[in-house]
Structures are given as structure tokens and as C-alpha cells.
Structure 1
Amino acid sequence: MESSQSIVLGDVEMFRVVEWQGTLMSGPELLPGTTDRTWRDNIDWLAPDHWDPATESVVATIQTWVLRSGGRTILVDTGVGNGRERPGRALFHRRHGDFLDRLARAGVHPDEVDLVINTHLHGDHVGWNTRDADGQWVPAFPHAQYLIPAADDRWFGPAGGYAGGRRPDDRLLYEDSVAPIHRAGRAVLWEGTHRIDDRLVLESAPGHTPGSSVLTVESGAERAILVGDLVHSPLQLLDPSCGSCLCLDPARAAATRHRILERAADRRELVIPAHFGGSGAVEIRRTGTHFELGEWAAASAVPR
């Protein structure tokens, strides 16, 4: 699953380029509020895109969404990257893949990228911010501005003791994937909300990390919201109170999830999480506090 399906919302085109797809951990490990039976009872629609019955493991995708808006090329999250020291995550450690080649085959060349958005500063969302140039980390997209949530920059950077110093990976990812962006003068820190253009708005959505954010796309009567790691499984779209083991502040993440998903249902926004396989995007509906899945996005293949 290399890429790339196109979703067109008014004047905005969106497609994704996949860096990696596979199984991560068991369902109850990822979502502690679930049981093995929860996943088995939903096998008919979770498998194969979101859960693998053979291994009873969650299926996840690491990918970059590419947006074309107002004549600009915008990347949302940049995956794991190559050659990173990540001793705490075997999947990310010293990885070598062909992601930049995949971007190029999708018609996206590094010099032509105008804007990079990091929805938050976890290692699978910032890795291709930079590339290795003769032993130095430099911006992989040299002409782009990088929009970085200020709260995450403080927390994961030296001001926050590299996320409190609990994991060596947090210091490593900041130093190889974020600090070089600052040194190159390409970082733009933002808080609260940040309007990119008439169609795109970033909004703080804390809980998963202090600076986690979502990106709203609105063009004409059509809307979508790229929610980053607000959800990791479609089960959380049905029950927003269901938390992930990956969230720094699970209670705050659940409150944020309720708020964002209620609005998405009311506004008929297409919901696009960072790590969903399949079509990657779905509508949700609600009656009071009860949520249901609507239609999954009908996306046509992008000509290559």
C-alpha cells in the first residue's frame, strides 16, 4: 500500500503517501478499556484494515497526507524518517525506507513543498522533517515553513526537560527532527488556533500530547478534519471515552475527543485520523451522545 488516493473537497485536493503499514499490538493493549471480545465482536468491519484476526493485533498505517490548497503543497505529518536512533521503539530504530521516492512518484518533490504541519511531536509524525546531509540533520523540505505546536515544542524540547526526561527517544527525536528546523529558521510556533488560508485552520486539541492539534478543511459546502492521534482505532469513533495507552493525559484526551467528534458529526465533517488504513477517512453521526459510523470516503486512485 504505497499511496495514494485522492479526496477532493471543493478547491482542496488531499491524498496520502504511506511510509509503513502493519500490526502494532493487541487491541486491549492499545485501548485498555476494550477486551479481546470487543474486537472479535466487530471483526466484520474492523478486519482487515484496522485489525488482524490472525494475530489479534491492531493494524496501523504511518503516512503523510498531502494537501493542495491555494496553489501550495502542504504535508501533514512526516512519519518516522530514516537513520534515527530510537532505542525504545524497534519499529522506528535505524529505519531505512524509500519514503522520499514514494513522495516523488506521487508528484511531490522536496523543493516544491511550501508548508509542513506536525500535528504533534511524536516520533512517527516528525521523522521526515529532516534528512541526513553529510552527518548533519537539515530540513528535508528546504523551502517549507514548519508549523509546530508551541506547547509540544516546550514539552519535548529543552524547556520541558525533553518531555520530563522519561524516555531517551524524546530527546533524540527533538534533537534530530525538530531542533534542526529551528536552527534553519524554518519553524513557526503557534498556539490556540492558526489560520493557514481561507480553507485551512489548525486548532489545539490537547491530551494525546500537550500540543496535539487538528486541521480543519473547509471549501464551499465540503468539510474534513484531520485529527492526528485523537483516535487510533475506529472503535474510539463509536465511543470517544475509550482511551489509548499512547495518550499522555487520557482524561483530557477523552474530553477533547468528545468535543471534536461532536462537532465533526454536527458539521458533517469527514474525519481523517493519522493512522487509519483502508480509505483512511469516514463520516460519523450522532444521536445525543451516541455515535455511529457513516460512509467511508470514496476515493479514486491518483494517476501516476
Structure 2
Amino acid sequence: MDLDLAHVRAFVLVAGELHFGRAARRLAISQQALSKRIAALESRLGTRLLDRGGRGVRLTPAGERFLTPARQALTAGDAAVVAVRGEARPLRVDVWGHLYAPMRTLAALTGAPPLEPGHGRDLPSVAAALADHQVDAGFGRVHPPLPGDLTSRLVRVEPVDALVGADHPLARRDRVRPDELRDSALWTPAPLDRLHFLSRFADRFGTTRLTGGTNLGLDHVAAHVAADPGCFALLPADGPVPDHPGVRSIPLVDPTPLYAWSLLWRRDSPHPFLPALLDAFAEAARQRRWLEHDPGRDWLPDGDWVVERVGG
């Protein structure tokens, strides 16, 4: 039986999204065209793979059995193209954590293989894109639990500074302890239960007051912080400082919070360029001391300092 990989890819995307509209947008086709691809695949296989009812889209038992080998078929198709062309296509990497500017780390790599960066919304969305073979790797802050078919490698940890307004009570300090911010409101770009690092920071250092809103970029954060002397934001020390006269960035010490960056990929089908990318991260970590960590001086949320580190 011959299967059309475009039809298989359409099924894998719908199975990952459980929503025809979102899957169609990711394929850049209409919902009608997507439905036709699914119908053609089901007709070829002689069985329904998806239930479309009032309760949404669900996999049938046959669909659940078909999903894993369908993903493997897409991986084999990519490998066949590489074998003919003699070289792999660029490694597609989705990044997230946009307020913390993940692209600046990828841009700092030397000797990295060809990359095709994309933007994911958050860890769950990038994990879904990986599972659906839409991207080859993800780069951002990874925390457990991860799906069993994905693996990650810690590649960088960096200090976090406090961004405060000029009228904040601590604005004239050269450095601040995290627990000294407990009476200030922490700016969050989304509900705290969706922000693993900020949630752990608030729990660890007794921050109970929150403020914020939609993530509209650093300028928006700076304007909010400048206007409210009772709030602060957390930004990586090596990140871009907002160009705003009413804010300043202050190092945090005793302990220094560290933000962890990791590479994420599928365990069963790594891209041929992935080893070269890991090597580039390892070299950058050695030259720039990206993995320096002193437990007596620094703070990482539980689980961030994993045994499996790049180059380690």
C-alpha cells in the first residue's frame, strides 16, 4: 500500500492539535483541504483515524495505533531526501522565552550548523511541534515533566538581574538580595502557573504580590516598571536592557538566581546536524563559562541543574 506523506503529515498535525483549524493554519492550507487529505488517508487505510464529534476531535483506536509509525514514516521521508541531496536541510529550531531574548544565545555560537529559527509560544507548544515533526529542536527553558519521546541538554545558565524604576526604594543600590524584593510586586507576562521560573522564584524568596499583563516586549515592561515604584521585573543579566531613562538593572546576590537554557529534541529521530549544534554549545560554554554554577553562591530551581549537561 502506497501512502502519500502529505496526507500522513496532515494526520500527525491534527493528532497533535486535536483541532482542524489550528492544524490547517500550521500547514498553511484551508480546513477543507485538510479534511480532504485526512479523508483520502482514511479511505486508503480503510478505517477511521479520527472522530469528529460535538466533543471535539479525538483519535480512534486505529488512529492511536497509527500515530507512532506515522511519525516514523515522516522521519524516514526526511532521511530519504537527505540521502539523495547529499546534505541535510537546515536544522529547524523553535525558540521560546521571548522576553529573555533566546536568539542572542544562538547568535553567539561559532561553528554552528545551518539553522532555521522559528518562534514557539512556550514549552508545551514547542514540545507539540517536535512531536509532530514540524521542527527538529527547541531552545528555551526546559523543566520537568517532559514527554517520554523528548530529551534535553542544559547548555547555559546566566545570572538574573532585577529591573526597577528610578523611584523604587532599592533603585540606588549597587546590588540587592532577592528576598529584599519580597514587599515589591513581581511583573509577570502571563499567569504565574504558566511561568515556571518566576513561580519558583516567588516561592523561594517570599514574593506574594504580582502585577503585569500581556508580553508586549521589553519596552512595554520598562514603561510599566518605570511608572510603578512598587514593582520589579526579572531579566537575564546578559540580555538587552530596555532603553528607558526611568529604569535601571540591579544585580541580584546572596544568592544569585540563574536562568537555565536548554536544547530540546526528539529522542528517536535526531537531525543529522544536532551533534554539530551540541558541539558548538559545548565550545561556547567552555570559552564563555556558560555553565559556571556555585551552589553556595547561586540559586537554580529544583531540577534545573541536571546531570546531563552539554560537554559534560
TM-score by length of 2: 0.28
The one of the two structures with greater contact order (alpha-carbon pairs below 8 A, sep at least 6) is 2
The structure whose residues are more often strand, as a share, is 1
The structure whose residues are more often helix, as a share, is 2
Larger-Rg structure = 2
TM-score by length of 1: 0.29
